[in-house]
Amino acid sequence: MSERAAPFHCPYCGDEDLRPGEQGHGAWECRACSRAFQLKFLGLLAPGTSSDSTGREEI
């Protein structure tokens, strides 16, 4: 089994200076903007689920 993926950049400022956080599993700290965030896997989407939220059908 491979290692868990780590974020490449901060979702707030885009900087790459990230360190694992002390808040628990999936927690990261950005040294550039002093923000802490947590990554969490929510699950898999059902087959046929689209990210298009307009309700329109594709042509």
CA atoms of 15 and 33, how far apart (whole Å) = 8
pLDDT at 58 over 70: no
Output the average pLDDT for the chain. 84
DSSP state of 14: -
pTM: 0.64
pLDDT of res. 51:
65
Residue 26: left (phi > 0), alpha (psi -120 to 50), or beta?
left
Indicate the burial class of 18 (C-beta count within 10 angstroms; 0-12, 13-18, 19 or more).
middle
Alpha carbon of residue 9 to chain centroid = 10
Label residue 6 by pLDDT band (50, 70, 90). confident
